[in-house]
């Protein structure tokens, strides 16, 4: 693997700082309220310099989503290496991680309906490849968990998969944290228990 030049290393560090800033702002304000000016100010660079790395607000959000999926895939791969774990335990660990990331203020908040951003993501090969890899892993665990009867086999697997993804933007943890009466660990435990209990086969 070729070693990066000093200039390339500087550019890589700057891009990492930009994506980290975008991630924080998306988590705090969401895509609609985030501005390119805020990103540039957070990183401490001119907006013109930022545009040399990312041509649009949509491209910035897409980069943050790619980074999130890279982190997610790393967690999924880590769980895949845990010997003797049941499929539902692997799913449980991934959902726990997503909830903890959300409570730490590091989960990008994106609108469900946004044509410009959707177009950016649909045309983003790395994003789609990563999303497919994560979905395939989680989908296989869901099917296995249904075969193990840890998850209701009467539920369509894709419904369970979408519900797992939805935990990353579940508003309940944020509401409970904002109340100031419960710690993150307790909030995560409650949400996990409620979610996975809802997936169990009927008795």
The pLDDT of residue 9: 77
pLDDT band at 116 (very low <50, low <70, confident <90, very high): confident
**The domain made up of 58-199 is a member of CATH 3.40.980.10:** no
The pLDDT of residue 103: 93
Cα dist from 133 to 91, 120, 128, whole Å: 15, 19, 9
More confident residue, 29 or 184: 184
pTM: 0.89
**Cβ pair 184, 102 in contact under 8 A:** no
pLDDT > 60? residue 1: no
Give which of 27, 13, 28, 25 is closest to 36, Cα–Cα: 25
What average pLDDT score do residues 4-20 get?
A: 81
More confident residue, 98 or 110: 98
């Amino acid at each position: 693997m070729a070693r990066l030049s000093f200039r390339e290393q500087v550019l890589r560090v700057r891009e990492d700082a930009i994506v980290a800033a975008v991630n924080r702002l998306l988590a705090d304000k969401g895509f609609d309220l985030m501005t390119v000016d805020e990103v540039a100010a957070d990183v401490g660079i001119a907006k013109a310099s930022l545009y040399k790395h990312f041509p649009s607000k949509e491209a910035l959000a897409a980069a943050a989503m790619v980074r999130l999926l890279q982190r997610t895939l790393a967690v999924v791969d880590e769980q895949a290496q845990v010997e003797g774990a049941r499929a539902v335990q692997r799913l449980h660990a991934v959902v726990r991680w997503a909830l903890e990331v959300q409570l730490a203020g590091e989960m990008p908040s994106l609108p469900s309906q946004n044509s410009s951003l959707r177009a950016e993501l649909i045309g983003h090969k790395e994003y789609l490849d990563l999303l497919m890899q994560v979905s395939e892993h989680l989908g296989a665990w869901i099917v296995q968990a249904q075969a193990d009867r840890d998850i209701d086999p009467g539920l369509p697997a894709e419904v369970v998969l979408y519900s797992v993804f939805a935990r990353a933007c579940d508003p309940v943890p944020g509401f409970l944290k904002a109340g100031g009466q419960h710690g993150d660990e307790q909030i995560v435990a409650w949400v996990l228990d409620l979610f996975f209990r809802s997936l169990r086969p009927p008795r």
